[in-house]
Structure 1
Amino acid sequence: MSAAVAHMCSGSPRIMVPVDLRRHDPELRSTANLALPLFLDVTPGQNWEEINAQLLKGMTLRQELSEIEGSGLSAIPGWITRGMLRSAHTLGGLTGSNAASAIVSHAGKVDLDKYATSTFTATSVRAVPAATGLVPVSFALVEHGNHTEITVSARGGRGVAAGLEQLLDHIERVLTATAETAVAPTRVVPALPVDNGAPSRETALSLFAQQVRANPDAAAVISPDTTVSYRELDRRSTNIAAQLIQRGVTPGAVVAVLADRTIAGMAAQLGVMKAGSTFLPLDSHHPASRIQVALADSGAVLALVEKPHVDLVGEVVRDVVILDESVQAESESAPVFPDVSPDDAVYVTYTSGSTGRPKGVLVPHRGVVSFVEAGREWYQLGPETRFGHYHTPAADMACAAFFSALLTGGAITLLPDDVSPVSLRHMLTESGANTFLLTPSLVGSITRLGIDVPSLRTIIIGGEKLYSSLARTACEFFGPDTRIVNSYGPTELSIVCSNHVIASGHPDQEPVTSIGLDRESVPIGRAPARTPVFLLDEQGHSVPDGEVGELYFGGPQVALGYLGRSDLTAQKFVTVDSEFTYRTGDLARLIPGETLEFVGRIDDQVKIRGNRIEPGEVQAALEAHRDVKACAVVVRKRADDGSPMLVGYVIPEDVAPQADGTQQLDIAGLRAHLADFVPTYMIPAALIGVPELPVTLNGKLDLAALPLPAAADAGVAATDASAPAEASVNADAVERSPQWTAIAQIWGEVLSVNPSALEDDSDFFVLGGDSLAAVDMLAKVSRQVVTPGGEAKLVAALDGFAHQLTLSRVYEAALSVSTD
């Protein structure tokens, strides 16, 4: 029961329960703490009987109480169990990086006569929750003759104290209520207070047509080489649509678009829409096998492909059309386009699948329209918008840029591929773009570059959990004239379905929004009009305000389902109070101000650098390698900034363990194998060989028993955080210059590796780095080894080696820049 309470309070599955040995052995005499700490991992939906059985199993396995028969702990009364399971409120931002989410102590029944002496009579007893840095919140329960006393404590200031009072008040209300009233009826979380009139009958096509009529000569697409007006983009897309119809493409059919961020790619997507079809955006940087899986799974009848990428399509699609000038030429006769309704699919994108198979999400026109209409207010979308597009074409973040600009009269600004200090500087200061959708990871990298950014229109932050510390840094970095919004939305909910304004961008009219910035993470805000939101427990009942529940969204932005996956669609798209909803799998709570706060996931899905990843898909790809006997792919935190990264633990076939207990792996071979099946962002940052995969009491993978991510996969040992910095570079190693040593030290910080084990040929990306980590690394090298503001020269010196950053190359480039 206690574990279930703690899980509801924090959304974290680990709870510590101290078992006092003196309660079970009267012969024990000691004033010292003789409590046995047991850690329990709780899954949503477990009741108190199941958790108590898990507790007994833990004590039996450890044999500390093996001589005791019966229950290991006094059974807590069922009426308290049921009440606390339904009533525990969440204490915001208390879990952090703790050994457990909470500690729950049960003192059992207290007989006051046992405390009496000839000169002292005990009239009351109080339970004092354990005060420990191991956990953020503590519960203590004492059973008296006619009542049970519950005490709760937590670290923090006035806000936490108020939360504790609210928690106890609600527990008292629920425990004194009947079983019927203890379960709240399903209710809708408040949405954005705007007109909730009839559903819009607009489509993405009709909104684009409005912009063409209103201002045909306005810029629609801005590329590094040219600018295309709405009139010209309309003409090109119309010609593409005409050719699709001539080739027999019918309404509702899926047409793939394999193009980079180009004008032709933008025209192709619009052309598919005009033909009444559904466009499938693909990324030429993804493995050919993944591209072909999406083509086959979607049943694409035709692919519009830029010439350099034709070989990636293979023979999966019966008709391949090259996106060149000829396909955009005028058709001989005026085309007749089919009618398109709001419920028709406009695009399909593929997301990571937990079973190892990506799944295609069908997004309707009504969803895009709702997103854009809400964005007019949230993001200040309109003719002045210049939306910077640097995203992978295959993700819905690219669709956000595409629709936000072209359906509101703004322009989409196409930006270069590689993320580097130079490209980020260009993107923010020279591209002309004034609106960006950035992940928190990228925001962090940008703020560390020290760029003097001009006043921007809007910064939308999404794709990952946004911590308040970074939000405050972003407000200071971008300045008071920039609107900053924290956004939330899975692909199944048409890009973004909830927003929280952090800074208004109008300091003279509105103050900077402070709601949530005093919490650990920034709220995800509220949903747009006509979007019912439900917070439900495992039984489908509404949770009280402040309590953690699973998010369900209804309304126009709910996707049509998973393409060709009726079984999975039935699991995730469900009816709640006669409302067709998407079950997100995300845990959240309603905090003061009727605002949603994201807590975590009910499963293993994770967002890394804004990319949605199911570790199960990566694990399935890794298990397919002939030399892998078994494996597990999990999420760990980077040592430098605490951001999430994937780590693969592998039991290789018939390999003897090394001296440190790990197993030798063919890292290069495993990475090459993964690169054939999954995108680069899904390849684990570290691959570690292990002799076995340890499990917890309830059969789950025991992360605590696995070695921490080290660069053992590249022959580099993990950094010893306790070692003094000046001793971090091996004194017995080859004598290095101060610059080489400084760069190695920076690599150690960014990659969480031991600088003393680095060599000239150590590869940044093989060691687990990615493009954003490379940005941080090069920025630090520029500041500490070269000169502040020297990023441009340093990156120019590394031209041609952007994806092969060895330590020697970075050192030589830094040396050449320093001697200029």
Structure 2
Amino acid sequence: MHVGRKPDQPPNLGKHSDLARVEVLSGDVEDICTRESSPSFGPEDRVQLLQWNQNIATRGKSCVHTLIQEKALTQPDAPAIHSWDGAMTYAELDRSSSAAAAHLTSVGVGPEVLVPLCYGKSRWAVVAMLAVLKAGGAFVLIDQALPMQRMQAICDQIRPTIVITSSQHAAVGADLASKVVVVDERSEFVLDPSWQSPPASPDNALYVMFTSGSTGQPKGVVVEHKSYSNHALACAKCMSLDSGARVLQFTSYAFDITISEILGTLIIGGCVCIPSDEERMGNLAGAINALHVNTLMLTPSVSRLLTPADIPCVKTLVLAGEPMTAEDIAKWSGKVTLVNGYGPAECTVLSTIQNDMQLSSHPRDIGRAVGCTSWVVDQDDPCQLLPIGAIGELMIEGPNVGRGYLNCEALTQKAFINSPPWRNQFPGWDVYDRMYKTGDLVQYASNGSLRYIGRKDLQVKLRGQRLELAEVEHYVRVCFPGAGTVICEKIVRNDLSCSQAEILVAFVHVHSPGSDYSGRNRSPAGAADLAPPSDIFREQVETAAGDLHKVLPTYMIPTVFLPLYRVPLSPTGKADRRHLNSLAQLLPRSAIEAYGVQKRALKRAPSTPEEWQLRVLWSDILGLPADDIGADDDFFWLGANSLDAMKMVSRGHARGMLGLTVPAVFEFPTLSALAPVIHQRRIEDPIASLPRPEWDFSNLPGSVTGEWQSSDIVAVLPTTDFQRIYLDAGLKNYYIWRIDRPLDVDQLQRALQILCDQVPVLRSLFIRHADTTLQVVLRRMQVELTQITVNQESVDEECRSWCANDNNSPEVPDGSPYFQPILISSQPSKHILILRLSHAQFDGSTLSHLLGDLVRAYEGHALPQPVVDFPAYMQHRLARRTPAAYCFWRDYLHGASMLGWDWLIGNASGDNSSHRAFVVGIDKFPLSSPPRGITMATLVKAAWALALARLSKQTDLVFGHTVSGRNMPIPDMERLAGCCINTAPIRVHIQPAWTAHELLRHVQTQYTRTLDYETIEPSEIIAQCTPWEGKPDFGSVVTHNEFDKAATAVLEGASDHLEPVYLGIPEDAFQRMSWPVQLMTELHGSEIEVIILASSHMLSQDRADWMIGKFKQAYLDLLNSDISSPLQLDDECAHTSKCQLLPKANP
């Protein structure tokens, strides 16, 4: 899909926007791009940023209180404070603060001395702030409404000698510091006319603002005079504020907007208007009018308590602290000058400002940097500056960047980083030695304004599924009739069943005549925030939930909807998520069920015994409450993938549902459609029904049996094509288990022996015979545990050294075991167990069960007996080589051909020498859920097919894909230990008029057609079912990994998983391997990792990176294409630039 450049876009923005499209959570779909490893930041981007970032303020050379004193000299009679408890002119404010400052210097306040101020809303809080500054100190505002424990946590960090407070709160102050200084109307400070404010430097601390810390302890941000003074003036100028500004001091002292409301107003000669705490919370509109306020600085949540008609005196409204919505713009635009402000506390209140929001403005447009510079970097690598149009992490540079975190150097160094090397590309500007990493994701819009995307860590994981709370909130707001504010939270309930311990809750405040949205008689966190269930609300929920099912996967739809009388606010004026989360957790179970019944009512209950049985099975596999699964639910729409389908078949057979097959699950994905199938075919046990041969080893040559007697051998089996790839190259794999506890070595030796006795593949020897390799399974093999003792510091070093030396040593001789355990110890409680294996012995499903069984054996528990072992599995796999299977593959591949790579590289491979090397391209980008009923594996394969079609100009494609080989009607198949993997061909025949959804459905159908025949070896398919010549690698192979990595057993003091040791492939082994181009994808948290692996004879490094870019473009096009628009099969960029991007042929 090609996205054209808008007329007002910089030329490079359209270029980078072509690479990807993502949906902005506010609802608009804009041409924006995700993080890119290619293309990189270029000259055009540099020129554009030079134009956009020209308004950097210089470092302040004056202290803040000096600037305010200048106003007292130039406008002494102008109003400085208009408060509920009295008014002050600038002259009066100057005299009162100087008198208090003189006293403070006598009790030890001076430069770098931190002084807590504990006040309610009062003019004396402002006097105290200025007094501390004039004495040379720095203030720490503490809201008197905070819990005492929170106040003490703050004072524990600043270790104050004195605290300043009012007479009313003197008792509270006495609990915070040894000395209390009261500054209010009762104070009788006498100012000596000769008193001079002690010398202060702009480098001194101005204030410390405490914010929430991830550890639960507040963290204090230190801001200096030089960071605030000039920056505050730049912000005021941007918002057109001057000495006529009457600014409401509404914000809690715990929120840094307070600094702008007070100091920012006084610096420009304006008036600070202070309501009482009662007016602030109970009659806000009345207080605004009574104080003649013309400028408000509020969070969007607080602004929704007001209407323009209520406060006609207000001319300027600054919204900050939270993203605004389109509803906010519609409400205020045209009635006031609406300003969108953004800034972390670490960077002096506001760092970016959009100073005139119009109806056409995007609600997440936070404007340009003011008095500083904004940079957009890779969220994982700040040394990579992103091109304009890319989404990345915002970093801020300039005089407004704070000093750092109080008493926390490690946290400071992590967030306040040294300027990256790319900063040298912008000479001529003041270079500041540090930048602040905000943790916020943004993107440059076409006009140079920044667009806020969200926090890079705003994700939760619900029953194993990743989701963005902001995305759920957006869709609930869209689908819920009359919804105003929507807040979604994951809550954990210990009184619910294990599968329902985690539930998604949506708190909905609905605009209605009976709702209290005016701000009257409300508290910031009242106990009565929740409304009881009502018939009207239930009807609204039913409507919303029905619509949500059309646009979101089931796991993203809230289980419970809770109505709010009002939105509780935190002390900083933001929606109080923590309070709502706690409220939902403390609700009685009966109340949760009463609210949750609305959603369950939408689902049709099972009506047949088969449907009831199947629902219990789905609940077990997916970890969902059975009541949340309806007869019309789609298995894959509930969050399942192809591995879950295999689990369903395996566990279903164990429960007598012998009609279940993986193809049937894909063909009939809804519960009601699949239920009639489960007992249709009452087949016999597939293993018992096969004649188990009497293994006769008497005629085997000595080259196979070696030193073993026939009585020592359980089975001699052929190897699969996949196994031979690794065996022919002699590759070895190493996995380690960390054990940080005392260990009984003899007990571990016995456990390893029990494990080997139980698992035949560990007793397998691989022997070359004639032109193939056989696997000989011994009846018993003695396990020898090698022990190595080292110094404590060198355990990891010795582990890696041993693995590296063994990896580079000659391959394992024929007839010798690959399986070898090594224990490296430094002391009784520090060990690493190395397990050496061949990939021919295991796959991803095997490892967790191996560790679980080893732990059980070590603890003396009996191991579960497998229903089937690997020799029996191979017997069943060989039995699938039937005439019907070969007939299927002939029909499936008739008229098709393997897609070679000559169309891409011709004679222009990156390496024509006899030597070969690995070429690896790698990238990560945000993970998005596939469309309803489509698995992630299908999305990956469809994207690869689309990329190949665009580049090769062919629409009938065949490539390989890695399959588990476990799609067999065998009970407990998921516990089978062995390497079952196979590579099967998939054919994708793209039609020109297809939409993205039609292509995805086609790919999934093509996959399900092959399920019954996917274990046929690729060499046999090519030799017996096609006229093709060459190696059976299908040109390229796609591997998508979604393994369940949860441990099956845990030993206290030891890790819960086997950790791979990455060593690379030895040179001689690599030269013997035959690799197609491989595309590998794996899910990592909120990202999908993509790797292209090839030989240098196939692709150059540039081409590998380029191919990843083309895959990524196809992946995003499939996700974001219009539902009715045909896919764009032309790749104009690839076609027109092919001659430029291809490496030149070697002469």
Give the TM-score taking structure 1 as reference length: 0.54
Q: 1:569 aligns with which of 399, 412, 415?
A: 412
Q: 2:316 aligns with which of 453, 458, 466?
A: 458
CA contact (8 A) 1:390 1:416 kept: no
Q: 2:143 aligns with which of 283, 286, 296?
A: 283
Aligned-partner Cα distance in 2 for 1:548–1:388:
35
Q: Tell me the equivalent position of 1:220.
A: 80
Q: Deviations over 1:495-547 (max 9, x none)?
A: 101101225xxxxxxxxxx5xx5465241111123x12210012221111111
Q: 1:201 aligns with which of 24, 41, 61?
A: 61
**1:367 aligned to 2:227?**
yes
Q: Deviations over 1:311-356 (max 9, x none)?
A: 3345441211123345452135633322222222111111011111
Q: Tell me the equivalent position of 1:776.
A: none
How much has 1:240 moved relative to structure 2? Answer: 1.1
Counterpart amino acid of residue 366 in structure 2: I
Q: Tell me the equivalent position of 1:483.
A: 337
SS in 1 for 2:354: strand
CA contact (8 A) 1:306 1:323 kept: yes
Give the TM-score taking structure 2 as reference length: 0.40
Counterpart amino acid of residue 96 in structure 2: R
Give aligned-pair identity as a percent: 24
Aligned-partner Cα distance in 1 for 2:398–2:115:
27
Q: Tell me the equivalent position of 1:550.
A: 393
SS in 2 for 1:370: helix
Aligned-partner Cα distance in 1 for 2:213–2:414:
14
CA contact (8 A) 1:648 1:684 kept: no
Q: Tell me the equivalent position of 2:376.
A: 535
**1:649 aligned to 2:491?**
yes
**1:718 aligned to 2:620?**
no
Kindly report which structure 2 residues correspond to 1:689-700, keeping only aligned pairs within 5 A, or say none. none
Q: Tell me the equivalent position of 1:127.
A: none
CA contact (8 A) 2:458 2:468 kept: no
Counterpart amino acid of residue 532 in structure 1: T
Q: Mind listing any 5+ residue stretches in structure 2 that lack a counterpart? A: 1-13, 424-430, 462-466, 504-522, 532-553, 564-583, 602-1147
CA contact (8 A) 2:342 2:353 kept: yes
Aligned-partner Cα distance in 2 for 1:684–1:648:
21
Aligned-partner Cα distance in 1 for 2:492–2:530:
11
**1:473 aligned to 2:325?**
no
How much has 1:417 moved relative to structure 2? Answer: 2.1
Aligned-partner Cα distance in 2 for 1:498–1:659:
44
Q: Tell me the equivalent position of 1:264.
A: 124
Q: Mind listing any 5+ residue stretches in structure 1 that lack a counterpart? A: 1-83, 98-135, 137-155, 504-513, 606-614, 617-631, 664-678, 688-701, 725-820
Counterpart amino acid of residue 560 in structure 1: R
Aligned-partner Cα distance in 1 for 2:220–2:340:
26
Q: 2:181 aligns with which of 303, 321, 343?
A: 321
Aligned-partner Cα distance in 2 for 1:682–1:89:
48
Kindly report which structure 2 residues correspond to 1:550-629, keeping only aligned pairs within 5 A, or say none. 550-576=393-419, 577=423, 579=432, 580-604=434-458
Q: Tell me the equivalent position of 1:306.
A: 166
CA contact (8 A) 1:390 1:417 kept: no
How much has 1:205 moved relative to structure 2? Answer: 1.3
1:489–1:682: structure 2 CA closer, same or farther, 3 Å change rule?
Answer: farther
Counterpart amino acid of residue 536 in structure 1: V
**1:357 aligned to 2:209?**
no
Could you tell which deviates more after superposition, 410-419 or 234-243?
A: 410-419
Q: Deviations over 1:3-29 (max 9, x none)?
A: xxxxxxxxxxxxxxxxxxxxxxxxxxx
Aligned-partner Cα distance in 2 for 1:205–1:180:
43
Aligned-partner Cα distance in 2 for 1:459–1:499:
12
Counterpart amino acid of residue 414 in structure 2: Q
Counterpart amino acid of residue 439 in structure 1: T
Q: Deviations over 1:683-711 (max 9, x none)?
A: 99899xxxxxxxxxxxxxx9749743548
CA contact (8 A) 2:110 2:136 kept: yes
1:424–1:451: structure 2 CA closer, same or farther, 3 Å change rule?
Answer: farther
Kindly report which structure 2 residues correspond to 1:495-514, keeping only aligned pairs within 5 A, or say none. 495-502=349-356, 514=358
Name which one, 1 or 2, has greater alpha-carbon Rg. Answer: 2
SS in 1 for 2:84: coil
1:454–1:520: structure 2 CA closer, same or farther, 3 Å change rule?
Answer: closer
Q: Deviations over 1:605-651 (max 9, x none)?
A: 9xxxxxxxxx99xxxxxxxxxxxxxxx99887486646454746234
Q: Tell me the equivalent position of 2:367.
A: 525
SS in 1 for 2:321: coil
CA contact (8 A) 2:347 2:400 kept: yes
Aligned-partner Cα distance in 2 for 1:472–1:410:
29
Counterpart amino acid of residue 524 in structure 1: I
1:243–1:545: structure 2 CA closer, same or farther, 3 Å change rule?
Answer: same
1:634–1:302: structure 2 CA closer, same or farther, 3 Å change rule?
Answer: farther
CA contact (8 A) 1:187 1:534 kept: no
Aligned-partner Cα distance in 2 for 1:259–1:709:
38
Counterpart amino acid of residue 708 in structure 1: V
CA contact (8 A) 1:244 1:275 kept: yes
Q: Tell me the equivalent position of 2:735.
A: none
Q: Tell me the equivalent position of 2:426.
A: none
**1:254 aligned to 2:95?**
no
1:287–1:85: structure 2 CA closer, same or farther, 3 Å change rule?
Answer: farther
Aligned-partner Cα distance in 1 for 2:73–2:41:
59
How much has 1:294 moved relative to structure 2? Answer: 0.5
How much has 1:557 moved relative to structure 2? Answer: 0.5
How much has 1:94 moved relative to structure 2? Answer: 4.0
1:366–1:91: structure 2 CA closer, same or farther, 3 Å change rule?
Answer: farther
Q: Tell me the equivalent position of 2:797.
A: none
Aligned-partner Cα distance in 2 for 1:286–1:705:
35
Kindly report which structure 2 residues correspond to 1:763-778, keeping only aligned pairs within 5 A, or say none. none
CA contact (8 A) 1:223 1:415 kept: yes
Aligned-partner Cα distance in 2 for 1:190–1:228:
44
1:321–1:589: structure 2 CA closer, same or farther, 3 Å change rule?
Answer: same
SS in 2 for 1:289: helix
Q: 2:560 aligns with which of 708, 713, 725?
A: 708
SS in 1 for 2:304: helix
Aligned-partner Cα distance in 2 for 1:720–1:428:
44
SS in 2 for 1:526: strand
Kindly report which structure 2 residues correspond to 1:168-207, keeping only aligned pairs within 5 A, or say none. 188=49, 191=52, 193-194=54-55, 198-207=58-67
CA contact (8 A) 1:488 1:496 kept: yes
How much has 1:440 moved relative to structure 2? Answer: 1.3
CA contact (8 A) 1:189 1:534 kept: no
Q: Deviations over 1:710-759 (max 9, x none)?
A: 486163632777899xxxxxxxxxxxxxxxxxxxxxxxxxxxxxxxxxxx
How much has 1:184 moved relative to structure 2? Answer: 7.9
CA contact (8 A) 2:80 2:269 kept: yes
Kindly report which structure 2 residues correspond to 1:374-385, keeping only aligned pairs within 5 A, or say none. 374-385=234-245
Aligned-partner Cα distance in 2 for 1:680–1:452:
21
Kindly report which structure 2 residues correspond to 1:656-805, keeping only aligned pairs within 5 A, or say none. 704=556, 707-708=559-560, 710=562, 713=587, 715=591, 717-718=594-595
CA contact (8 A) 1:647 1:709 kept: no
Q: Deviations over 1:43-92 (max 9, x none)?
A: xxxxxxxxxxxxxxxxxxxxxxxxxxxxxxxxxxxxxxxxx999775657
Q: 2:257 aligns with which of 389, 397, 401?
A: 397
